[in-house]
Amino acid sequence: MAKVLIVDDSKMSRRMLKTIIEGIGHEIVGEGSNGEEGVKLYKETQPDIVTMDITMPEMDGINCLKAIKEFDANANVIMVTAAGQSAKLMDALKAGAKEFICKPYEPEQVINAVKEVLK
Ligand SMILES: [Mg+2]
Domain boundaries, the chain: 3-118
**42-71 pLDDT per residue, tens:** 999 999 999 999 999 999 999 999 999 999
Cα 10 to ligand 1 centroid, rounded to whole Å:
6
DSSP string, 65-116: HHHHHHH-TT--EEEEE-TT-HHHHHHHHHTT--EEEESS--HHHHHHHHHH
For 26, phi then psi, to 5°, come to: -95, 165
This model's pTM is above 0.75: yes
The dihedrals phi and psi of 91, each to the nearest 5 degrees, come to -60, -45
Tell which CATH classification among 3.40.50.150, 3.40.640.10, 3.40.50.2300, 3.30.300.30 matches the domain 3-118. 3.40.50.2300
For residue 2, report the distance from its CA to the centre of ligand 1, in Å.
Answer: 24
Write out pLDDT tens, residues 83-117.
888 999 999 999 999 999 999 999 999 999 999 99
